Amino acid sequence: MNPKRACKSVRAAFLLFHLLALGFLSLPGPGRLSNRGVWRSRHNQEQFALYSGWLSQVGLELTPREFEQKAWRLTRAFLDLRTKAVRPFELYATTAGFHQSWRMFSNPQTHPAAVQIQLDRGDGYETIFESTSGGTWRSDELTHHRIRKLFGRAARSRRQYLWVRFGEWVKMRIAKDFPDAHKLRLRQLRRDTPAPFSGHSAAAPRIENERVYDLRKSR
C-alpha cells in the first residue's frame, strides 16, 4: 500500500473517530438530568404544568404529574442509550483531556432571584447593591463570576450556611467602608417573569430570605 495513501486513510479514520467522540459526548448526560430532586423543584414543576396545559389544547390530556412521569421514563431511556454510545470514547476523552464535567446549558429561570444589600445609617435603609441591577458599592467584587455563582447556588437551595458566610463577608467590608452605619440588611428577592404575550406586568418581588445585622454591636 502506498504510504501516503495509508497515512491519509489513518488520518481520515482518526478524524471520523474524533468527531464521533465529540458528538456523542456532547449529548446531555446524567447529573442534574437524572436527579429527581431537581425535577421536583418549584421551577420545573411549573414547567410541567405549563407543558401539560399546552398538550391539553391539542387534545392530549395529561396531568402535570403524568407528563412528568412520561418525561422521566423517556429521559431514563435516553440516558441508558447515551451511556452505551459514549462508552467507546470515554478513555480517549479522558486521555486527551477534553472530557467536560460541567453542564453548558440549562433551562431558563422564569422566577429569577436577586440579592439585595441595604444599609441604614440613621435615616432608613438604602440599597447599595442589587445583583440584577448592579450598584456602586464594591461592584467589581460583587459582580465577579465566582460571586454570581454563589448567588445562583443560594437561590436554588435553602442551605443557610451560604447566607451566613456571605453575610459575614459583607459585614466585615461594610464596617470598613461605612464606619457610621447602624444596620446591614441582606435580602433575597424572587420575581415572577410574566408569560410572553400575557399582557401582565411583573408583580412586586417576594422576600424569600432576610438577614439583619446590628453593626453597632460588632464595633
Q: Reduce the secondary structure of 99-111 to three states and give it as a string.
A: CCCCCCCCCCCCC
pTM (2 d.p.): 0.59
- DSSP H or E segment with residue 100: none
Has residue 105 been placed in a domain? no
Residue 110 has pLDDT above 80, yes or no: no
Please indicate, yes or no, whether residues 56 and 140 belong to a single structural domain of this protein.
no
What is d(CA 88, CA 216) in angstroms, rounded to the nearest whole number? 63
- The reported pLDDT for the residue numbered 96 is 84
Of 96, 126, 153, the residue that ends a domain is 96
Residue 219 falls inside a structural domain? no
Residue 209 lies in a domain: yes
Q: What is the pLDDT of residues 149-185, one digit of tens each?
A: 888 777 776 667 888 888 888 898 998 889 889 999 9
The pLDDT tens digits of the residues spanning 126-147 come to 999 888 776 788 888 888 888 8
Total of domains in the chain: 2
Contact of 71 with 34, CB cutoff 8 Å: no
Establish if 35 belongs to a structural domain.
Answer: yes
- Rounded to a whole number of angstroms, the CA Rg of the chain reads 25
Domain coverage including residue 143: 113-214
Q: Does 107 fall in a domain? A: no
Average pLDDT over residues 49-65: 87
At residue 177, φ and ψ (nearest 5 deg) are -85, -30
Q: Please list, in sequence order, all residues whose beta carbon lies within 8 angstroms of the beta carbon of residue 176, skipping any fewer than 6 positions away.
A: none
* Helix, strand, or coil (residue 42): helix
Residue 186: closest CA among 160, 149, 153, 217: 160
